[in-house]
Structure 1
Amino acid sequence: MQHHAKRAILGVIPARLDSTRLPGKVLRTIRGRPMLHHVFAYASQCGLLDDLVVATDSKEVYEYCVCNQMKVRMTSSCHASGTDRIHEVMQTLPADIYVNIQGDEPMIRPAHLEALLQPFLKDAAVQVGTLKTSITADEAHNPNCVKVVTDTTGKALYFSRCAIPYNRDHVPETRYFKHLGIYAYTRSALDRFHQLPPSRLEQAEKLEQLRFLENGIPIYVTETPYDTIGVDTEEDLARVERYFQDLESTGDSFPAACREFVIPADPG
């Protein structure tokens, strides 16, 4: 991983084990390797990251990382979100930009992170960045798929679980974009987020990024052609397994091979 433009960029993978819908999900296997290992291996291929660390509140995840030479930090179990967990990491690991790489996004590609960081490389004033990908009108009506609309300069106007924009007259050119929950923030934006109380829109939509918008902090949204499946359920896990199986069968160059992995010995 190389340094870039004198601004230190740290990738952080928040990895909680106590997921309610899919218990222990970050250590569930996909193509024989734990999901977290896939995320770490693919993110580490991004040359813009100066370093990469897993942030967890789980002894099991911590031990897995140590066994597999993956840099890891133990964090509090009290955090309401991955953003708060990254804020804790920020106290001991200094950087200029922090990249929030979800531990349940095994389809992450280096290309996602490169696109995400472009606005920061072009403009020192950018504080927060995220990604979007084009979807169909049918997909836009799924409340589990978060949509985003942006202004002409690429700044987010709003994120919603509703289909936005509402296409009243069925204009055929109307496009819908899914928000991919991968973020980059400057140190000061992360600090500000942590100090602000949860906002009203954030609580209504259950979308933490609205806290930035409600408090006048712009979010730059870059388009990517690569969709991902965030793993929340057994069905998601099965879909991701099929995705990797299809990649292998077509000989796609992504993803590069993961290193062999080690399962920590049971202390009992």
Structure 2
Amino acid sequence: MSLLVVIPARAGSSRLPRKPLRLIAGRTLLHRTIAMARAAIGDRADVALTVATDDDAIADHARAVGCDAVMTDSAIATGSGRALAAALVQSVTPDFVINLQGDSPFQPKGALGAVIAALQAGASVATPVIALDWPALDALRDHKTRSPFSGTTCARAPDGKALWFSKNIIPAIRGEEKLRETTPRSPVWRHVGLYGYALGALQRFEACPPTALENLEGLEQLRLLELGIPVMTVAVDPPRFDSSGIDTEADISRVEALIALHGDPTPL
């Protein structure tokens, strides 16, 4: 098995321009994501890492911190599309491609390994999710009052297959007060921004135009579900602190406050 981990790092962002180069507690968002990926990959010889970008300054920065980088077309609309473009220019085309979103550097330690294991077990697409306890759900609800499109939740079947993803908090919880008294865990799963694909599944995804519901939610994984491509979710333990993506100035401030309070989780 050969596997390529790609960090898409697009320059354009309407909410946070030149996001990959923004500093978070003294280190760029991209540098933090690269460091997290390196720590997760370890010394695995069958896994390679690269940054896929449309911006020379971002590519230069990736190389300056010791990571390979490839230039991709700025017209590519999704992170997964950028990951496929990076895979197809490798000297050896990988069997599997992982899209490690460049704006989610504080992911659970075991997430990348769990996705690799799911692909090895036969999943066409795999992505991690975290079970939220009630305090974590309360914190997510509070966060969404300020950044409603930051953070994604997932409804999943008992076998782990994803039923839906949303920027809203799903499912709605009828009888929540009573449920809180009987179980410490809420029924809400939070999605982690990491996708693993068999190469063929990724090529099929990229060959199809964005779907209506994908456009409405702003979530590319909904295209997979609308195309009938199963997405296997893998449950992972939560990270040291909130793992949502960095999409706004408020997100940067929130994460910097968490780092000051709990210490920096990014490996040196």
2:246 to 228, 231, 234: 231
Counterpart of 1:104, as a letter, is D
2:56 to 44, 59, 65: 59
Kept after mapping to 2: 8 A contact 1:13/1:103: yes
Corresponding residue number in structure 2 for 1:10: 4
Is 1:149–2:161 an aligned residue pair?
A: no
- Provide, for residues 115-140 of structure 1, a one-character-per-residue CA deviation record: whole Å limited to 9, x for no partner: 2222123x22x110111112345435
1:109 Cα shift?
4.7
Corresponding residue number in structure 1 for 2:96: 97
- Correspondence 1:67-146 to 2 at 5 A: 67-93=64-90, 94-121=93-120, 123-124=121-122, 126-135=123-132, 136=134, 137-138=137-138, 139=140, 142=144, 143-144=148-149, 145-146=151-152
Counterpart of 1:116, as a letter, is V
Give SS of 1:60's match: helix
**Structure 1 residues 84-93 or 136-145, which shifts more?**
136-145
Corresponding residue number in structure 2 for 1:256: 267
1:218 to 230, 242, 249: 230
Kept after mapping to 2: 8 A contact 1:43/1:108: no
**Structure 1 residues 196-205 or 131-140, which shifts more?**
131-140
1:45 to 33, 39, 61: 39
Counterpart of 1:113, as a letter, is L
TM-score, normalisation: structure 1: 0.84
Give me the identity figure in percent.
35
Is 1:196–2:190 an aligned residue pair?
A: no
1:95 Cα shift?
0.8
Which aligned segments of 4 or more residues in structure 1 are displaced greater than 6 angstroms?
none
1:169 Cα shift?
3.7
- Work out the number of aligned pairs and report it: 245
1:167 to 163, 173, 176: 173
Alignment partners' CA distance in 2, 1:40 and 1:109? 14
Kept after mapping to 2: 8 A contact 1:140/1:176: no
Counterpart of 1:214, as a letter, is E
- Which stretches in structure 2 are left out of the alignment for 5+ residues? none
TM-score, normalisation: structure 2: 0.84
Kept after mapping to 2: 8 A contact 1:140/1:178: no
